[in-house]
Amino acid sequence: MTQTPEPGPGHTSGLATTGLATTGLATTGLATTGAASTARRPPVRQSTLVRSDVRHTFEVFVRTIGTWWPANPFSAGKDRVRDIIIEPHAGGRVYEVWADGTTVGWGELLAWEPPARFVMTWNNTPVPTEVELSFAALGPALTRVTVEHRGWEALTDEQLAEDCALPGGYSAGSYSAGWIQILGCLAATLDPTRKARRP
């Protein structure tokens, strides 16, 4: 059985540093021209530094996502989720699997370039958006993992304000906050001495 996903993780603004984790910038804003206002909908960008080589970091992200991703609240099935699968090739599916065998699609891989990056559609928003994860080697055992969540122009103002996994949606910075938490869980998996931020 396949179900339509609920809105996914939330994110938007700020630059924060926690220990080795660096959370990148993303902003929202409104540009006003005369009497009409046009929404400016920049991508959500967040990043973290991890003490792990780039190849290992990419492999942990992709192959063990079901063990470290905070399914509650960042999935459709929440506590029912037993695994998250990324089919490792362009055109591959990204989906969650529930204990009863139900699968819920998150998106499809548009680009697959291990260990540097992958790009996927993100179907956990009211209208599909796009997520790019990139992995940059900064040293033999230091990698920057960056997420860029884009395509917000396709959503209406009402959709941008809808709750996702966190209250407030894109308009309130929930996607930014969500990606900070998700990347924190990845970083904690790669460096067990680090604490992940949980909602």
Decide if pLDDT at 116 tops 90: yes
Positive or negative: CA dihedral 116, 118, 124, 126: positive
Per-residue confidence (pLDDT) for residue 39, from 0 to 100: 55
Please state the φ and ψ torsions of residue 175, each to the nearest 5 degrees. -70, -40
Residue in the block written with tokens 């362009």: 90
Residue 197: inside a domain, yes or no? no
Q: How far apart are CA 164 and CA 126, in angstroms?
A: 9
For 121, the domain range is: 2-24+44-190
Residue 186: inside a domain, yes or no? yes
Dump pLDDT digits (tens) for 5-24.
443 444 333 323 333 333 33
Per-residue confidence (pLDDT) for residue 198, from 0 to 100: 52
Residue 61: inside a domain, yes or no? yes
Band (pLDDT 50/70/90 cuts) for residue 196 is low
Q: With CA atoms as reference, report the closest residue to 94 among 82, 86, 83, 102.
A: 86
Band (pLDDT 50/70/90 cuts) for residue 121 is very high
Q: Three-state DSSP class for 164?
A: coil
Residue 35: inside a domain, yes or no? no
Residue 182: inside a domain, yes or no? yes
Residue 158: inside a domain, yes or no? yes
Dump pLDDT digits (tens) for 94-115.
999 999 999 999 999 999 999 9
Q: Which of 58-62, 175-179, 193-197 has the lowest mean pLDDT?
A: 193-197
Average pLDDT across the chain, whole number: 84
Say which CATH number the domain at 119 has: 3.30.530.20
Q: Three-state DSSP class for 157?
A: helix
Per-residue confidence (pLDDT) for residue 193, from 0 to 100: 77
Per-residue confidence (pLDDT) for residue 37, from 0 to 100: 35
The whole model's pTM is what? 0.80
Give the H or E element holding residue 98: strand 93-98
Decide if pLDDT at 36 tops 60: no
Residue 34: inside a domain, yes or no? no
Q: With CA atoms as reference, report the closest residue to 54 among 131, 179, 141.
A: 141
Count of structural domains, the chain: 1
Per-residue confidence (pLDDT) for residue 192, from 0 to 100: 76
Residue 140: inside a domain, yes or no? yes
Q: Give the number of other Cβ atoms within 10 Å of residue 37's Cβ.
A: 11
